[in-house]
Amino acid sequence: MKLFDVYKTFDITPVKANGVFVYDESGREYLDFYGGHAVISIGHSHPVYVNSITEQLKRIGFYSNAVINPLQSELAIELAKVSDCINYELFLCNSGAEANENALKLASFHTNRKKIIAFKNGFHGRTSAAVAATDNPKIIAPLNDQHAVEHLDFGDIDKLRTALNKGDCCAVIIECIQGIGGLNEADTNFLSELENLCRKNGTVLIADEVQSGYGRTGQFFSFQKHGIKPDIITMAKGMGNGFPIGGLLIHNSIEAKMGMLGTTFGGNHLACAAAIAVLKVMEQEQLMSHVQELSDYFREQLIRFDGIKAIKGRGLMLGLAFDHPIESLRKQLLDKHFIFTGNAKDPHVLRILPPLTIKKEHIDRFIHALAQEL
Ligand SMILES: Cc1ncc(COP(=O)(O)O)c(C=O)c1O
């Protein structure tokens, strides 16, 4: 049987990974400045993580949500501690799209409305409402097109005010830093006005932190820099360091009702063991302050390149904007220097999403490769 051919792939077959490195079948080492698309948070095959999942598997790997799973409560307690988000409740699922789909559904249940406000250049996943909220007609099937979604310019407060004041929106969904869209960041004025307008009009504010969350920006969630308090926060990628898990933090003003949300696999024992290990390592290794320190160092090294027109993003969620398309540079970094990087919807932006555990020597190696190619 052939695979359903939907991905453009590099001709590389990783068989092993450790820390910030990935190894192919011939033993060649690759420096991972892409983190498997922002997923690897605490580093590949971290021993605490491997041990936690292995030991859990020996005990119990899975049972359904029809029984009590104390690991879910342990994860919720740890999350509140590390994220500093209090007065929220946790719902666990399996991916970023599923987290956003559930968040939008919950907003609709809560408000009894169905219109969604989303932003141009945003990406929220490929399930029905999540993809309808995504600004990319190429990935929206006619079936998904039936959702009531208005896409506004990112940062356009006047259009936002007009749209929300109609009083018919269940949710606004926003990436405070747009990942795939090219690392544009909303400013504090816009975000606090967005929060005020949502409160005034009874609209649920959903922060999509699937990519920007879990310490990637140097704070646990990227919105925390702006002092806002979303009603729902969605997360996934860094949460399981590669183990599929996603989740929603739901403000306790939104009441849970039996059957509102549900999942077979979400919050299973193995996924919780992975996610608890991630938080433990984040705390033990103080990864958020490490990210801030490394990000400052990275920026200092990058400003000397005239070819880089802007360094976008925050922490270790960076976009290097050039005045030319980056695809051949990205290929050279991979083929000649064995460094994985990412691209964006904006073809001029090279995306940097390494494991949060990278060290200065890895940045130096990347800078050396970049200097040769520019
Ligand atoms: C901001 C954002 N939201 C949602 C998603 C969808 O996540 P998943 O691919 O786990 O469904 C992504 C994936 O790249 C993302 O970057």
pLDDT tens-place string over residues 109-121: 999 999 999 999 9
Give the SS3 label for residue 234. strand
Provide mean pLDDT across the span 155-183.
Answer: 97
How far from the centroid of its chain's Cα atoms is residue 297's Cα? 23
Give the SS3 label for residue 60. coil
- At residue 101, the pLDDT reads 98
Which domains can be identified in the chain, with CATH numbers? Answer: 14-45+287-373 (3.90.1150.10), 47-284 (3.40.640.10)
User: How far is ligand 1, taken at its centre, from the CA of residue 306, in Å?
Assistant: 32
Instruction: Give percent of the chain above pLDDT 90.
Output: 100
- At residue 20, the pLDDT reads 98
- At residue 298, the pLDDT reads 98
- At residue 207, the pLDDT reads 98
Residue 294 — pLDDT band, cuts 50, 70, 90? Answer: very high
How many residues are listed for the chain in this entry?
A: 374
H or E stretch including 294? helix 287-302
- At residue 230, the pLDDT reads 98
Q: Is 180 in the pocket of ligand 1 (CB under 6 A)?
A: yes
- At residue 202, the pLDDT reads 98
In whole angstroms, what is the distance from residue 33 CA to residue 330 CA?
A: 11
- At residue 337, the pLDDT reads 98
Residue 54 — pLDDT band, cuts 50, 70, 90? Answer: very high
In whole angstroms, what is the distance from residue 176 CA to residue 226 CA?
A: 9
pLDDT tens-place string over residues 99-142: 999 999 999 999 999 999 999 999 999 999 999 999 999 999 99
Q: β-pairing, 246-251 with 88-93?
A: antiparallel
pLDDT tens-place string over residues 245-287: 999 999 999 999 999 999 999 999 999 999 999 999 999 999 9
Q: What residue owns the CA closest to ligand 1's atom 3?
A: 124
User: How far is ligand 1, taken at its centre, from the CA of residue 18, in Å?
Assistant: 24
User: Which atom of ligand 1 is nearest to 126's Cα?
Assistant: 11
- At residue 166, the pLDDT reads 97
Q: What residue owns the CA closest to ligand 1's atom 7?
A: 96
Provide mean pLDDT across the span 155-165.
Answer: 97
pLDDT tens-place string over residues 175-233: 999 999 999 999 999 999 999 999 999 999 999 999 999 999 999 999 999 999 999 99
Going through 34-163 in order, the beta strands assigned E by DSSP cover 88-93, 115-119, 149-152
Q: What residue owns the CA closest to ligand 1's atom 13?
A: 125
| Pair 143, 129: CB distance under 8 Å | no
Average pLDDT over the chain reads 97
pLDDT tens-place string over residues 298-357: 999 999 999 999 999 999 999 999 999 999 999 999 999 999 999 999 999 999 999 999
Q: Rounded to a whole number, what is the largest CA-CA distance in the chain?
A: 60
Q: Is 96 in the pocket of ligand 1 (CB under 6 A)?
A: yes
Is the pTM higher than 0.75?
A: yes
Please choose from 95, 119, 123, 184 the residue to mutate so as to test ligand 1's pocket, defined by most ligand atoms within 8 A of CB. Answer: 123
User: How far is ligand 1, taken at its centre, from the CA of residue 58, in Å?
Assistant: 31
Q: Is 124 in the pocket of ligand 1 (CB under 6 A)?
A: yes
User: How far is ligand 1, taken at its centre, from the CA of residue 33, in Å?
Assistant: 18
